[in-house]
Every structure is written in structure tokens, then in C-alpha cells.
């Protein structure tokens, strides 16, 4: 479970300020929230955050994110601040990975870009028309944009501050290029209907390092045969699509 800021990085300092601003805000004090709204089940922001941090792919969390986006117009600054905190764990992991792969980038600049990409997508037409899989879509778009920005920015800085041994940096750039191409291929498959959102989510979690795979381990400590077979079929389908 995410328990708030975990270090003294730029994002965690921002999260502290946002949490302080949200600490006294009660969900039921939001004017205009309907009695039937699922937000009414939570007495405080902390209760809502506790649930969303532990159930990012849950159908109920999808319902809550949908409702937050609907009522954002009532209190845009508060709702957007809340959504930044909701996605802070994802942002934190993404920023650390980008900075680790592109050592020329500063953590503060990468954080600024990540937050900008998140807010831009939250305000986009794509989000206004979306009806489901909010957490998945937001995480996917923000990660892709951060990694693509990091690759471009890192390549530029590498050219500006070139030293005698370029092979390690070039290897990092090639890794980011392959990663961006793979993300683009997978997104195209989803858009064309060749791949479902659930299949892409499974692939990312198990094969691309988004989790350590704990969600798929049974009581004996092994990945279930059903999951293995599903992954084999999924990878075979992706090979056919790639050809």
C-alpha cells in the first residue's frame, strides 16, 4: 500500500504540499456531488486515497476515477491535485526509471515533464470521451510520453556533452528507442482491436517489468498454468501481428 511520500525527491515534496492542502477536505463537502455518487461512500480524502492506492485496476476504482473526472469542474484545482496524488506511485516509478536510464537528465526536470504530461492528458478530449479503464489509460500515456521525452532529451544532451567513450550512452539511447517502438506497436494493436486492454495490461505487468509478477503467483509460489498458457497464446498472437 502506498503511504504517501517515500523520499525527499521533487515529486514527494509536491505530494506533501498537496496532501496538506487536501487534508481538511471532506468528500461530502463537495457541492453538487449527487447523493448517488460513489464518492459518498468515503468520509474523507484519506479514505478515498487509501482505497485507490490499493485497487488501481479494480472496477470500483475505475468507477471512482470516472466520478472524480465528472465533478472536476466543481473544484478543478482540488480534484486535479487529488488525481496527482492518486497517480504519485506510478509517477515516482516512471521518473526514477527515466533518470536511471538517461543519467544526463535531472530528477527535477523529469518530474516537471511527468506532471505536465499527466495534467495535459487529464484535460484532453480523449479523457473527456473515455468511459472505462481510466487508471490503465492514464498510466500508459504518461509513461510513454515520459520515456519518449527522456529519450529525445537524453540524446540531445549526449550530443552536447560528448566525451571520449560514447558506447554506454548510445546503448541507453537504443534501449529507449526500442522501448518507444514497442509501446507504439502495442498501442496500435489496441486501437485496431487486435489486442484488448486486459491483454495489454497482463503483458505489461508480467513481461515489461511494471510489476514483479506477484499478482500471478499461486500459494505454492509458482505462476499458475492458466496464466502461463494465456501468456503463451498472447505472445504467439503478437508475433503474428508483428509479421
pLDDT bracket for residue 11 (50, 70, 90): very high
If you average pLDDT over residues 224-232, what whole number do you get?
75
Residue 57 lies in a domain: yes
Closest CA to 158 of 177, 178, 181, 180: 177
**pLDDT given for residue 162 in this prediction:** 47
If you average pLDDT over residues 56-74, what whole number do you get?
82
Residue 35 lies in a domain: yes
Residue 111 lies in a domain: yes
**pLDDT given for residue 72 in this prediction:** 86
Residue 43 lies in a domain: yes
Residue 19 lies in a domain: yes
Q: How many domains does the chain have?
A: 1
pLDDT reading at 44 higher than 50: yes
Residue 199 lies in a domain: no
Grid cell, residue 30, equals 463537495
CA distances, 38 to each of 29, 44, 46, 122, 132 (Å): 14, 13, 15, 20, 15
Higher per-residue confidence, 238 vs 91: 91
Residue 110 lies in a domain: yes
Q: What is the spatial distance between Cα 232 and Cα 7, in angstroms, rounded to a whole number? A: 39
> 217 pairs with which residues across the strands?
223
pLDDT, tens only, 155-182: 665 544 444 444 444 444 445 556 566 7
pLDDT, tens only, 91-115: 999 999 999 988 889 999 999 999 9
pLDDT reading at 16 higher than 60: yes
**pLDDT given for residue 171 in this prediction:** 46
**pLDDT given for residue 160 in this prediction:** 46
**pLDDT given for residue 214 in this prediction:** 42
Residue 55 lies in a domain: yes
Residues with Cβ within 8 Å of 40's Cβ and at least 6 positions away in sequence, in order, are 27, 28, 33
**pLDDT given for residue 5 in this prediction:** 62
Host H or E run for residue 203: helix 197-207
Q: Which domain holds residue 92?
A: 1-127
pLDDT bracket for residue 47 (50, 70, 90): confident
pLDDT, tens only, 181-227: 676 677 777 777 787 777 777 776 665 544 444 444 444 444 567 77
Max avg pLDDT among 78-82, 210-214, 235-239: 78-82
Amino acid at each position: 500500500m502506498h503511504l504517501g511520500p517515500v523520499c525527499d525527491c521533487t515529486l514527494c515534496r509536491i505530494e506533501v504540499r498537496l496532501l496538506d492542502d487536501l487534508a481538511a477536505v471532506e468528500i461530502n463537502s463537495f457541492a453538487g456531488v449527487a447523493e448517488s455518487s460513489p464518492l459518498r461512500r468515503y468520509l474523507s480524502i484519506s479514505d478515498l486515497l487509501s482505497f485507490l492506492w490499493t485497487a488501481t485496476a479494480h472496477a470500483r476504482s475505475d468507477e471512482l476515477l470516472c466520478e472524480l473526472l465528472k465533478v472536476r469542474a466543481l473544484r478543478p484545482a482540488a480534484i486535479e491535485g487529488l488525481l496527482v496524488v492518486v497517480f504519485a506511485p506510478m509517477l515516482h516509478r516512471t521518473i526514477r526509471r527515466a533518470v536511471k536510464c538517461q543519467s544526463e537528465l535531472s530528477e527535477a526536470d523529469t518530474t516537471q515533464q511527468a506532471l505536465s504530461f499527466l495534467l495535459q492528458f487529464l484535460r484532453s478530449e480523449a479523457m473527456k470521451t473515455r468511459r472505462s479503464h481510466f487508471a490503465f489509460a492514464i498510466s500508459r500515456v504518461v509513461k510513454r510520453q515520459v520515456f519518449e521525452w527522456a529519450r529525445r532529451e537524453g540524446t540531445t544532451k549526449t550530443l552536447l556533452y560528448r566525451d571520449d567513450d560514447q558506447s554506454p550512452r548510445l546503448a541507453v539511447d537504443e534501449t529507449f528507442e526500442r522501448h518507444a517502438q514497442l509501446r507504439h506497436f502495442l498501442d496500435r494493436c489496441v486501437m485496431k482491436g487486435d489486442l484488448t486492454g486486459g491483454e495489454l495490461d497482463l503483458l505489461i505487468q508480467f513481461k515489461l517489468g511494471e510489476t514483479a509478477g506477484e499478482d500471478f503467483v499461486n500459494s505454492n509460489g509458482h505462476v499458475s498454468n492458466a496464466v502461463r498458457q494465456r501468456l503463451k497464446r498472447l505472445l504467439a498472437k503478437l508475433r503474428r501481428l508483428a509479421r
